[in-house]
Amino acid sequence: MLISNAYAEAAEATPKAPEGSIMGFLPFILMFVVLWFVIIRPQTKRAKEHKAMVDTLAKGDEIITSGGIAGRVTEVGDNFAQIEVAANTVVAVQKQAIAAVLPKGTLKAL
């Protein structure tokens, strides 16, 4: 034959960490901790603040919706709020669609 067979040499045994070692899970644990403080915790805090804002809505509050509509609250129900966006123009919006409560006097005349 023209080509001789090439055989691999036996590799030396390398010491491995024990299978139940915490060092194997450390990167995953650190990644979860970072994601918790960067994404999950601020999001839950924002959701809690928004729920508190929606729960304290009252007649006469000036609000802006997530769609950009500004108006004055005329009636608050369980799931919906009636807002006056112009003179004699009332629109019903979901309470969860209210993005912010504006300071009193922000909207001049409706």
pLDDT in tens, 12-52: 666 665 566 778 888 899 999 999 999 999 999 999 999 99
% of the chain residues with pLDDT over 70: 87
Its pTM stands at 0.69
- What span, in angstroms and rounded, lies between the C-alpha atoms of 94 and 101? 14
89-94/80-86 β-pairing: antiparallel
User: Could you tell me where the beta strands, DSSP code E, fall in 1-110?
Assistant: 62-65, 70-76, 80-86, 89-94, 98-102
Q: Which CATH class is domain 58-110?
A: mainly beta
- What span, in angstroms and rounded, lies between the C-alpha atoms of 63 and 82? 11
Domain boundaries, the chain: 23-56, 58-110
